[in-house]
Amino acid sequence: MKLNKIFKWGMVVLILVSVALLVWGFVSGFETSTHEALPPTNALLTWAAIMIGVALFCWIVVGLIVSVMNDPKSLIKMGIVLVCIAALCLVAFLLAKGNPVPGYTGPAVSAGMLKLTDTILILTAIAGVGAILSIIVGEIRLAIANKK
């Protein structure tokens, strides 16, 4: 019960900070900001990265604690999942070309940033295809289970 309260209040705090940043962005104007160090768009992107980091941390740490308490053998499954995710990220990084966008006339972007951007795009495509396939497979399994 105590863990549920911690998650509940943590989620409330994260939502309030997210809404405050969003309101700040709209009030100060996303594109017309005079703050060169941290314009609202960069603040929102930074906050999104922080939220992803918090989610990953909670998934790994809390999942690790709960799984060890409930079933110590599930720790092996979690390790396998983490190794598979790391391997998928490595494959996406190796597949990423890092070529500049044709016709781009903006400021120069480093080769490392282009490679990282391509890696993220490949991971997004893999996640999208995986989601679609899981929906299709889930529906097929549900249809087969309901026939029996």
What pLDDT is recorded for position 29? 67
**Of 82, 80, 76, which Cα lies nearest the Cα of 59?**
82
DSSP state at residue 31: S
Confidence of residue 141 (pLDDT cuts 50, 70, 90): very high
**Of 101, 98, 97, which Cα lies nearest the Cα of 113?**
98
24: its two tokens: 């700040």
What pLDDT is recorded for position 31? 60
Percent of the chain with pLDDT over 90: 31
Higher per-residue confidence, 148 vs 94: 94
pLDDT tens sequence across 15-50: 888 888 778 777 776 665 455 555 666 777 777 888
Q: What is the mean pLDDT of the chain?
A: 84
> What are the boundaries of each domain within the chain?
1-70, 72-148
Q: Is the pLDDT of residue 95 over 60?
A: yes
Calculate the dihedral angle through the C-alpha atoms of 48, 50, 52, 55, rounding to the nearest 10 degrees: -130
Backbone angles phi, psi at 72, to 5 degrees: -60, -25
Q: How far apart are CA 113 and CA 119, in angstroms?
A: 10
What pLDDT is recorded for position 30? 63
pLDDT tens sequence across 74-86: 878 878 988 999 9
pLDDT tens sequence across 105-132: 878 888 899 999 999 999 999 999 999 9
Q: What's the whole-number mean pLDDT along residues 43-68?
A: 81
Q: What's the whole-number mean pLDDT along residues 46-58?
A: 84
